[in-house]
């Protein structure tokens, strides 16, 4: 029987890469999407293909461009002539207070975090319907209780949570749609770096008193994708209890 196929956006590193490795370990073929991390994506593909021949491939796409989104869906669906899972993991995160926001910030954050998942799913729908597939959206605990000076980011993730529930109703019974809302798993990189004092403040509000790790997210995605045939329309918080004390 052919292996099921998952398209994972933003899968060249961090949570996306661990998710690809986890699903691959469960017998899935994986399409590794990346925007600029070509070397990391290729290294991951080579590693997975050494473990199981012809089981991984990569596709470059800028998710803020409509033509790139369409090409990504087409490439993912055609490589093994099927698509069973879509994991919308890619995300843009950086602070921008309302008074400092520009239309470019709006297009960047809302485009990558909300518009791209919508249109990527639209383009993937024919193949997902054929396979009775599943969609997992990476949301955020800040979609419900916003983070200061991140109005666009929080709005984009709240919108993605709403899409998750809407799609679960609209696409049933053929396609299941669920979400994962991570808490403190990996600290942000680059311009979004969080200072140590703020990191500790987050941990102080986390009942389990520690960060999670990428396996927590990858395992939850694998559960929803592979082991939860009667679960749809749910957003699962993987946050060590942080959402209890936001």
Complete domains list, the chain, with CATH:
5-241 (3.40.50.720)
- Range 201-208, long-range pairs (CB < 8 A, 24+ positions): 202/242, 205/242, 205/245, 205/246, 206/239, 206/240, 206/241, 206/242, 206/245, 207/240, 207/241, 207/242, 207/244, 207/245, 208/240, 208/241
User: What pLDDT is attached to residue 232?
Assistant: 98
Q: What is the pLDDT of residue 195?
A: 67
Measured between alpha carbons, how far is 139 from 56 in angstroms, rounded to an integer?
A: 25
Tell me the helix, strand and coil percentages in the chain, rounded to 5.
Answer: 50, 15, 35
Catalytic residue IDs: 153
pLDDT in tens, 158-206: 999 999 999 999 999 999 999 999 877 666 665 555 667 767 777 777 7
- Summarize pLDDT for 14-28 with one digit per residue, the tens: 999 999 999 999 999
Report the distance separating Cα 41 and Cα 51, nearest Å.
16
pLDDT in tens, 73-122: 999 999 999 999 999 999 999 999 999 999 999 999 999 999 999 999 99
Tokens, residue 9: 């956006």
Question: Global pTM?
Answer: 0.93
The predicted structure's pLDDT at residue 190: 55
Choice between 155 and 207, residue whose per-residue pLDDT is larger: 155
Q: 149, 105 in Cβ contact below 8 A?
A: no
The model's confidence at residue 217, banded by pLDDT at 50, 70 and 90, is: very high
Collect all residues with Cβ–Cβ distance below 8 Å to 19 and sequence separation of at least 6.
8, 11, 87, 89, 214, 217, 218, 221, 222
């Amino acid at each position: 029987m052919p292996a099921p196929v998952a398209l994972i956006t933003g899968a060249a590193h961090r949570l996306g890469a661990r998710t690809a490795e986890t699903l691959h370990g469960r017998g899935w073929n994986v399409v590794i999407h990346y925007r600029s991390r070509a070397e990391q994506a290729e290294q991951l593909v080579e590693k997975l293909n050494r473990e199981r021949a012809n089981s991984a491939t990569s596709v470059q796409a800028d998710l803020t461009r409509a033509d790139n989104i369409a090409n990504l869906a087409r490439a993912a669906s055609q490589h093994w002539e099927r698509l069973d899972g879509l994991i919308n993991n890619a995300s843009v995160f950086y602070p921008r207070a309302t008074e400092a926001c520009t239309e470019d910030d709006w297009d960047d954050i809302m485009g990558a975090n909300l518009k791209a998942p919508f249109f990527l799913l639209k383009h993937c729908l024919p193949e997902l319907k054929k396979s009775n597939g599943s969609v997992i959206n990476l949301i955020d605990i800040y979609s419900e209780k916003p983070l200061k000076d991140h109005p666009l980011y929080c709005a984009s993730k709240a919108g993605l949570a709403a899409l998750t529930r809407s799609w679960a109703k609209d696409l049933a019974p053929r396609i299941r749609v669920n979400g994962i809302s991570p808490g403190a798993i990996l600290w942000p990189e680059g311009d979004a770096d969080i200072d140590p004092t703020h990191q500790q403040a987050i941990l102080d509000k986390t009942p389990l008193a520690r960060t999670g790790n990428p396996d927590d997210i990858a395992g939850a995605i694998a559960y929803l994708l592979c082991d939860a045939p009667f679960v749809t329309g749910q957003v699962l918080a993987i946050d060590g209890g942080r959402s209890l004390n936001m």
